[in-house]
A and B are shown apart, each in its own frame.
Chain A
Amino acid sequence: MLAKINGYALDGLDGYGVSIEADISNGLPSYELVGLASTATKESKERIRAAIKNSGLLYPQKRITINLAPADTKKEGPSFDLGIAVAILCASEQIKGDKYKNYVLIGELSLDGSLRHVNGIMPIVISAMQHGYKNFIIPSCDALEASYVGGINAYAFNTLSDVVSFLNGAEAVPQETRRFSSESMDCSKSFDFADVKGQTVAKRALEIAVSGGHNVIMIGPPGGGKTMLAKCIPSIMPDMTFEEAVEVTKIHSIAGELDSNVGIVKTRPFRSPHHTVTVPALIGGGTKSKPGEVSLANLGVLFLDEMPEYQRNALESLRQPLEDRKISVSRVQRTINYPANFMLVASMNPCPCGNYGSKTNECRCTSQQIHNYLSRLSAPLLDRIDLQIEVDNLSYDEFRSKEKTETSAEIKVRIEKARAIQRKRFENVGILTNAEMTEKHIKRYCALDEPSEKLLKMAFERLNLSARGTSRILKVARTIADIEGSENVLSKHVAEAIQYRQLDRRYYV
């Protein structure tokens, strides 16, 4: 007998239908799996046999041939277990009728016949829905994840025998579609800007950075509070919309980083890979072309602490995602595009000893040492960082401890406002934030009046600014204007933006 079951496989974020075919014929008992199955998929043989047996069903002692079509694409992972088991049961007529033809089956089997978690349920369901599939059978532990996708019927089951009785005619209710509610970062877990004393410049710069989605680098001596400031950023990130949450969840789901108790990523990701991170781990790769940190940080923050300590090639590999806001991971077998629309937050010391420019500690690094240290960050990379600010370890308690500092919640209100203005402005442009503006957009949205134009020109002449920074200054000035609710970019906005180009202006003797 022959049976055909619908399965689904992912290729990056997108997928394609896999037809799981089982043929049972007379002959010596054997099991043959064809269709370019990877090791994890091939090993399903033992899981399926045990699962069928332990579910009280009969494993046919005949010649079994399984085909995963199309036969020329590599099938990864254990998500075909359920489909193959059901195909065998249909072919051996233990499942009757053709109800199974309406469903896409996804799930890994345990030896006792229970269904186990599979990575990438949300992208699978969404992609399959776009290809016209509507009904899904999935493991119940992944039910939450699928329940956020509207317009489909997802049936969640605990065991193989439940699935069999359902396909044999038992009734079941599909998962209800859940409403998404965005959640602010749990403030008890993250730091609050109210806890940071002083650092007015840095706080202001981070507010601007988050408002406009600008990349930012903090330069300062060790112990200056750079890491602390960075850890506060999640507390002021704007809430995610449902579409954004889905986009983030899809990637986290593929990477297996999703909390199945929640089923969707509700807060913006904050990724801080260690400085020993390899290139594939950072931008994605491996034989399976898995998403890397840049994609996991999509729509959130990628924090690189002590940036010059990272491997040179890892840093340089960030250039394309920073520019295109997506990354294409190419391997021999396939090329996959992942989104990588993240905000880069980096920190570094001003010199190897860290004391350059400090008032209290003397720096006696040679200019050559400083030069070598700074040159680990290439100019094209720094060019993609809009805000460059200095953070220092002045003891603030002396003169500002009495003053009340703003809480993250207060700052966040202003940021949400600025973001709303940007969303409205870029409604038909296809971008979300000021940082994403191209030269064409800058010309259109950052037109300067005469005094600002003059100011900018004078700044270049007198303040050692590099000409490459112009568009960065304009973008940041646009964001500052948005925070203020000003329609046009005024000279004071440009003047403030200029102060955030510190690396351009620094020179060492």
Chain B
Amino acid sequence: MYKYSLSTLGLLVLDYAEGTKEVKNDLLRRFNPECIFKCNFGDFNSPLTNSIKILVENVNYLLEELDKKQIKLLSIFDEEYPTSLKNIDNSPKLLYLKGNADLLNTPCIAVVGTRKPTRYGIKVTEDFVREFALNGLTVVSGMARGLDTVAHKTCIELEKPTIAVFGSGVEVCYPAENRWLYDAILKSGGLLVSEYKPDVKPLQFHFPERNRIICGLSKGVFIAEASLKSGSIISARLAVEQGKELFVVPGNVNSEASMGTNALIKEMQGAITLSPSDVLETLNVKIAKPVERETVQLSFYAQKAVEALYEGELHFEELLSKVDVSASELTSLLTELEIMGIVVRLAGNYYALA
């Protein structure tokens, strides 16, 4: 009759019913969700049960609305509900999903980090996420500004699916400027997850709650950069509480954006992570053979430029003094190296090896 179990529907009507969280939890303690959907409340009567009765009568309308938005439901009573999430304290009873729901049962890794990353944090996140994605891990993040966005974007560029867990409803894109990312995640076969009703606005207290799902879905949590007071640090603590692996990349001791991560490492020395293989080995992921890169014959000067860049990123002027060609020749040389994917151009006329 319905494509969802009665328990799932019970949780759905409970979620939509009018009442505070406390009242709803109280009701859940008295009755199981199936009873709620069947409205077997016995002689118990409250404004909440009245509201539920009305909703049950109109449940078809609710389901149609969700179908129209292509939102699927997943309750803790369903078989597909990921075990890792089931095992945490306070696991969400009902999830709203949009996109490829099969991803939930693939091995996942959470990638979180600061909203204001430095160039270092971006680079580290990109490098690690690339390895995760290529070795069959599904990257879970929160689609927030900063490193979350970098993580999702890197997956999308590799055409690997990724999971975004929202602190708002799945129909609400937050932050608004990430609309393109929202669309791109869905288009690339990714998944959007939220425990809130589809149109719920992102409220401040949602985000710590959202973090527990991100950690819960994953085998481990990876943090490239986080300042001292950030949500990522909360995620790290959550990960430890939930018994997940924690992977933290050390940073510059002077950089504000690395203060949090460095403090974490000081506290939990096992968390230090220096390369993607550290993560993959700990999680017992078979490392796929790296794709052999085509070898290309570089011109004499191109070779010289590449050798100079082995030291690290260089400014155009510095390269110019090392390669010994004219500015215009070096400029066109660098374009060619960029197109070949050997060199990347950074902001401020800096160049680095890709």
Contact = CB atoms under 8 A, between A and B. Distances in A.
Interface stretch (B47-55, B75-83, B321-329): B321-329
A459 B338 CA distance: 8
B122 A509 contact: yes
A356 B347 contact: yes
Contacts of B349: 201, 390, 392, 394
B116 A366 contact: yes
Please provide the 10 A-B residue pairs with the shortest distance between their CB atoms, ordered closest to farther.
A357-B347, A495-B332, A357-B348, A495-B335, A496-B332, A492-B332, A200-B327, A496-B331, A392-B348, A499-B331
Given A495-B333, A499-B345, 11 more contacts: A358-B348, A362-B255, A367-B146, A392-B349, A394-B317, A455-B336, A462-B339, A462-B341, A463-B338, A509-B122, A509-B153
A371 interface: yes
Interface in A58-89: none
A367 B146 CA distance: 8
A126 interface: no
Interface residues of A, number: 41
B256 A371 contact: no
Given A201-B316, A367-B145, A509-B122, A357 B329 contact: no
Contacts of A371: 177
Nearest to A355: B348
A99 interface: no
- The interface centre, meaning the residue of B339, B341, B345, B346 with most chain A CB atoms within 10 A of its CB, is B339
Nearest to A403: B321
A440 interface: no
A368 B177 contact: yes
Contacts of B147: 509
Contacts of A366: 115-116, 145
A204 interface: yes
B145 A201 contact: no
A332 interface: no
Which of under 10, 10 to 19, 20 to 34, or 35 or more describes the interface residues of B?
35 or more
A250 interface: no
Nearest to B332: A495
Contact of A364 (B116, B150, B153, B345): B116
Contacts of B177: 367-368, 371
B313 to A, nearest CB: 8
Interface in B217-232: none
Interface of A: 198, 200-201, 203-204, 220-221, 350, 356-359, 362, 364, 366-368, 371, 390, 392, 394, 396, 399-400, 455, 458-459, 462-463, 480, 491-496, 498-499, 505-506, 509
- The interface centre, meaning the residue of A400, A493, A495, A506 with most chain B CB atoms within 10 A of its CB, is A495
A200 B317 contact: yes
Nearest to B153: A509
B304 interface: no
B334 A499 contact: yes
Interface in B105-164: 115-118, 122, 145-147, 149-150, 153
B149 to A, nearest CB: 5
A492 B329 contact: yes
B263 interface: no
B341 A399 contact: no
Contacts of A499: 331-332, 334-335, 345
Contact of A359 (B175, B333, B350): B350
Given A201-B349, A368-B175, A509 B146 contact: yes
B320 interface: yes
A296 to B, nearest CB: 33
Given A356-B347, A392-B348, A399-B318, A204 B327 contact: yes
A163 B255 CA distance: 80
B331 A493 contact: no
B38 interface: no
A70 B108 CA distance: 86
